[in-house]
């Protein structure tokens, strides 16, 4: 892979931040620059108890991709979704359940018109994913009282449609000019069993990537392909959701789960040939970008790194997990996958020597210094 250059461990995150400035911003930038933004921030659109935010926009990503979050209560009424089924001919749209439950229906337009493919539906819960490539019919419905949906749209800039639609001057008969093509003959199926309708596995077996962008598909949390890489002395588990094969090399998306970086390990400096964003899901991620202070991300925070910008990243807590979005199909994820090996596990091994010793009041490691045996709980009057 030639799209990622590892500059080596000689440039640590400390070296990157000499004479640096803050990476944090309060709102989504209007042009491409390195930045970090807190959960719940970003260009807002909404009102009352339903809000969309765009922490990465077409402007801030140079047209590479948009990341949007939608938070609010669901449509709890029985029946089909209120949103009409539609197609985007130019826009690839992905759905990731960050919280709550979201039901997504999808089918390739060509297969629907010819009757050669099945309509699929899945009820997404936290960590589940649905991909709708260009020319995929889709609609969705938020089902829980408190749900958050994270969407990735490629290329970036589709958010302009949402802002236009919110204005009283919006012309609903001109949807096609916004790459929205209603498909009113599509009837969402109502026969889902165990959160699944249509062919393919869900939580009942491995979920595979299709290897093309011909049709929509779904990946249940931790049931997709996984790869483990320990090249730098700590583990990274890469779980791709979209690769260059599924996006015609437009973008890549997935998750990385990281081992805690120990004091004797170094985090090599990377330089990626595409714009890239990380969104924290669990744990604590440290990111250093050349010319900026190192930032510490927690759940929901996002960092954006422009292409060809040196940066480092490492985990500050065990089992740190983040979503990555890359503005091309041959980015950091592809390099990590190439340097790793397939695994069936969503967790990495931890040796007893590396396990964090117990030190909480009332808990003893049995005098073994954290090396072997279960910790002992000592309660007056009881013996375990």
Q: What is the pLDDT of residue 265?
A: 82
Average pLDDT over residues 313-327: 97
Task: Report whether pLDDT(300) > 50.
Answer: yes
Task: Report whether pLDDT(310) > 60.
Answer: yes
Strand partners, 311: 270, 289
Higher pLDDT among residues 303 and 261, named by residue: 303
Higher pLDDT among residues 362 and 153, named by residue: 153
Other residues' Cβ atoms within 10 Å of the Cβ of residue 336: 23
Reference 64, options 253, 332, 296; nearest CA is 253
pLDDT band at 364 (very low <50, low <70, confident <90, very high): low
Q: What is the pLDDT of residue 380?
A: 52
Lowest average pLDDT, out of 250-264, 274-288, 353-367, goes to 353-367
Task: Report whether pLDDT(82) > 60.
Answer: yes
All structural domains of the chain? 25-219 (2.60.120.10), 227-342 (2.60.120.10)
Average pLDDT over residues 194-212: 97
Catalytic residues: 86, 88, 93, 138
Task: Report whether pLDDT(240) > 50.
Answer: yes
Task: Report whether pLDDT(77) > 60.
Answer: yes
Task: Report whether pLDDT(7) > 60.
Answer: no
Alpha-carbon gap, residue 240 to 222, rounded angstroms: 10
Strand partners, 181: 87
Q: What is the pLDDT of residue 15?
A: 45
Strand, coil or helix: 110: helix
Calculate the average pLDDT of the chain.
89
Q: What is the pLDDT of residue 356?
A: 57
Whether the CB-CB separation of 122 and 101 falls below 8 Å is answered with no
Alpha-carbon gap, residue 49 to 349, rounded angstroms: 42
Q: What is the pLDDT of residue 350?
A: 82
DSSP per-residue codes, 135-174: TEEEEEEE-SSSEEEEEEEESTTTHHHHHHHTSTT--GGG
Q: What is the pLDDT of residue 5?
A: 47
Structure tokens at 3: 């799209």
Whether the CB-CB separation of 88 and 180 falls below 8 Å is answered with yes
Q: What are 144-175's pLDDT values in tens digits?
A: 999 999 999 999 999 999 999 999 999 999 99
Q: What is the pLDDT of residue 359?
A: 54
Alpha-carbon gap, residue 96 to 105, rounded angstroms: 14
Task: Report whether pLDDT(333) > 60.
Answer: yes
Whether the CB-CB separation of 288 and 13 falls below 8 Å is answered with yes
Higher pLDDT among residues 322 and 352, named by residue: 322
Reference 218, options 154, 132, 151; nearest CA is 132
Strand partners, 121: 105, 197
Q: What is the pLDDT of residue 266?
A: 85
Helices (H) and strands (E) in the chain, counts: 5, 28
DSSP code of residue 292: B
Torsion of CA 175, 327, 72, 29, to 10 degrees: -90
Each residue of 356-377: b (16+ CB within 10 Å) or e? Answer: eeeeeeeeebeeeebeeeeeee
- Give percent above pLDDT 70 in the chain: 85
Torsion of CA 202, 205, 208, 213, to 10 degrees: -20
Task: Report whether pLDDT(2) > 70.
Answer: no
pLDDT band at 298 (very low <50, low <70, confident <90, very high): very high
């Amino acid at each position: 892979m030639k799209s990622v250059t590892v500059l080596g461990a000689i440039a640590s995150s400390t070296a990157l931040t000499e004479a640096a400035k803050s990476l944090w911003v309060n709102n989504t930038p209007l042009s491409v620059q390195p930045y970090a933004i807190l959960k719940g921030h970003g260009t807002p659109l909404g009102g009352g108890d339903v809000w969309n935010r765009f922490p990465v926009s077409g402007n801030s990503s140079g047209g590479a991709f948009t990341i949007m979050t939608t938070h609010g209560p669901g449509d709890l009424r029985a029946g089909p979704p209120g949103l009409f089924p539609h197609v985007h001919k130019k826009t690839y749209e992905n759905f990731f359940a960050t919280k709550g439950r979201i039901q997504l229906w999808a089918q390739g337009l060509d297969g629907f018109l010819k009757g050669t493919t099945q309509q699929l539906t899945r009820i997404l819960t936290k960590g589940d994913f649905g991909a709708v490539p260009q020319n995929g019919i889709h609609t969705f419905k938020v089902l829980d009282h408190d749900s958050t949906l994270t969407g990735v749209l490629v290329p970036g800039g589709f958010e302009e449609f949402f802002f236009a639609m919110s204005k009283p001057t919006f012309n609903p008969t001109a949807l096609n000019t916004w790459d929205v093509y209603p498909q009113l003959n599509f009837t969402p199926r109502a026969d889902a069993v165990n959160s699944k309708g249509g062919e393919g596995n869900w939580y009942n077996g491995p979920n595979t990537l299709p290897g093309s962008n011909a049709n929509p598909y779904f990946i249940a949390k931790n049931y997709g392909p996984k790869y483990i890489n320990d090249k730098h002395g700590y583990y990274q588990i890469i779980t791709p959701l979209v690769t260059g094969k599924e996006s015609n090399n437009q973008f890549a998306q997935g998750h990385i789960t990281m081992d805690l970086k120990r004091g004797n390990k170094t985090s090599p400096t990377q330089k990626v040939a595409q714009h890239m964003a990380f969104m924290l899901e669990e744990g604590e991620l440290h990111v250093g970008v050349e010319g900026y202070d190192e930032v510490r991300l927690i759940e929901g925070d996002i960092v954006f790194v422009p292409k060809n910008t040196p940066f480092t990243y490492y985990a500050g807590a065990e089992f740190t997990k983040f979503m990555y979005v890359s503005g091309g199909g041959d980015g950091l994820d592809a390099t990590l996958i190439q340097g790793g090996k397939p695994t069936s596990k969503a967790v990495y091994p931890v040796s007893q020597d590396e396990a964090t010793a117990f030190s909480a009041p009332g808990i003893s490691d049995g005098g073994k210094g954290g090396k072997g045996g279960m910790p002992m709980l000592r309660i007056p009057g009881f013996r375990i």
